[in-house]
Amino acid sequence: MEFLEQQLPRYVDGAWITLQLTVGGAALAFVLAMVVGVLGTTRFWWARAITTVYVETFRGIAALVVMFWFVFAFPDLTGFELDPIFAAILALGLNVGAYGAEVVRAAINAVPKAQVEATVALNFSWFQRVRLVVLPQAWAQMLPTFGNLIIELMKATAVVYLVGIVDLTSVAQQIRSATGETFLAFGVAFVLYYLLAQVLIFGMRLLERRANQKLGRAPAGGGLLSLLRPPTVGTQVGVAK
């Protein structure tokens, strides 16, 4: 208990940095995934070419290397020095966004073609088709994978100490070096990472449940305990309410 009383404030500060990196990286990754994923389903070859270059580039380069490039190489090339936290968010967002773009593209392509053709017959504009029919169904389908990507992004933040950011992992290493308590130092970090992951998972389950309810795929009730397991997805499809 004495160890926790002395070191907990430092762990909380490190966990706060980890949470900022996770939220910032996830927000950037989501925007990139949606934009690039939608562009990847269009009939314009140049849009598909741009998305292919982005996806294959950042899926093929480690996020840590991209982070090093932004922190150490970018200032040499441009003369502008990026804040390490901003550089880490940028690197993580670009990397995870590339994976997310493929999730979005696949989810959009999985929407039954007959429904898209029906919207054309009803004289829906492209924006109406995407907003009312395509994205609501694709959104429900892509959310579980998005949840996994956010958790992976959160875990990937553990390497940011290599560019001088004092995150949760960095705090654990510093405390271990100062106290010699290896088990306790990393044990507390273990628990905090787990708790952060559970909060993120719970939030994604809420989004999944709401998305499926809007499509008539999940019961309105069920309570909080139902969020501890993946929602049951039926076969009913429809336009978002």
One digit per residue, pLDDT tens: the chain, 241 residues? 777 778 889 999 999 999 999 999 999 999 999 999 988 888 888 989 999 999 999 999 999 999 999 999 999 988 889 999 999 999 999 999 999 999 999 998 888 888 878 887 887 877 788 778 888 888 888 989 999 999 999 999 999 999 999 999 999 999 999 888 889 999 999 999 999 999 999 999 998 888 888 777 655 555 555 555 554 444 343 434 3
**Does a structural domain hold residue 32?**
yes
Asked whether 138 and 104 are in contact (CB, 8 A), the reply is yes
**Does a structural domain hold residue 120?**
yes
Closest CA to 104 of 191, 42, 168, 163: 42
**Does a structural domain hold residue 240?**
no
**Does a structural domain hold residue 180?**
yes
**Does a structural domain hold residue 239?**
no
**Does a structural domain hold residue 236?**
no
* Cα separation, 228 vs 114, whole angstroms: 34
**Does a structural domain hold residue 238?**
no
Closest CA to 34 of 46, 44, 26: 26
**What range does the domain containing 26 cover?**
2-228
User: Taking the model in full, what pTM does it have?
Assistant: 0.84
**Does a structural domain hold residue 241?**
no
Number of domains within the chain: 1
DSSP 160: G
Instruction: Write the CATH number for 43.
Output: 1.10.3720.10
Closest CA to 54 of 87, 98, 89, 88: 98
Closest CA to 52 of 109, 60, 146, 110: 60
DSSP 3-state of 122: coil
